[in-house]
Amino acid sequence: MISKLFKKENRVIKIKSPVSGRLISIEDVGDKTFASKALGEGVAIIPSKGSVRAPFSGKVLMVANTKHAIGLESEDGIQVIIHIGIDTVKREGEGFNVELKEGVEHVDEGDLLVTFDNETMVKEGVDTTVLLIVTETNGHTLSKILSQGMVEEGESDVSEFIRKKV
């Protein structure tokens, strides 16, 4: 009984899908930098619609001038980049709308971050695969990452991290 009182349990942190669509393996993404995991481990999702939501509660670290990428940090210190599309930086913001209010620093899980014209981009031949790349774990250990199946924005868990209690 006393040992249970002082036993420290690991904490599981779940990251939700930022978009709805079909998961593919990050190694199959049409960009060598992402596919090689040079920027970090992550998930790739072929979006079924053009909205991106916060995968967790935390703070906004960066919004690209071209509106195609956002950097976030969870309340547990996990940092991610959400990158919309391959080579979409060349669009210079065309077809993207950042839904964050000016100067916002905190977002709640599920908050709308960006909308983009997925349908038009796909018709134009643009690869709109959305990547969620973990760039900093801050002591957390990756315990699960999905690479296939259908996901719903803000609902489906796409990865889990464990923070060991000491």
- Mean pLDDT score, 18-22: 95
Rg (CA), the chain: 17
Question: Tell me, what's the pLDDT at 103?
Answer: 67
Question: Tell me, what's the pLDDT at 154?
Answer: 84
Return the bridge partners of 77, or none.
none
Tell me the whole-structure pTM to 2 decimals.
0.88
Question: Which residues form the catalytic set?
Answer: 83
**Tokens at 119, concatenated:** 């349908």
Give the CATH H-level superfamily of domain 8-163: Glucose Permease (Domain IIA) (2.70.70.10)
Nearest C-alpha neighbor of 81 from the set 118, 34, 32, 128: 34
Amino acid (1-letter code) at residue 15: I
- Mean pLDDT score, 69-73: 94
pLDDT tens per residue across span 109-164? 999 999 999 999 999 999 999 999 999 888 877 777 777 889 988 888 887 778 76
Question: Tell me, what's the pLDDT at 23?
Answer: 93
Burial class for 148, CB neighbours closer than 10 Å (0-12, 13-18, 19+):
exposed
pLDDT tens per residue across span 76-95? 899 999 999 998 888 888 88
List phi, psi (to 5°) of 91: -75, -10
DSSP H or E stretch at residue 132: strand 130-136
* Residue ranges per structural domain of the chain: 8-163
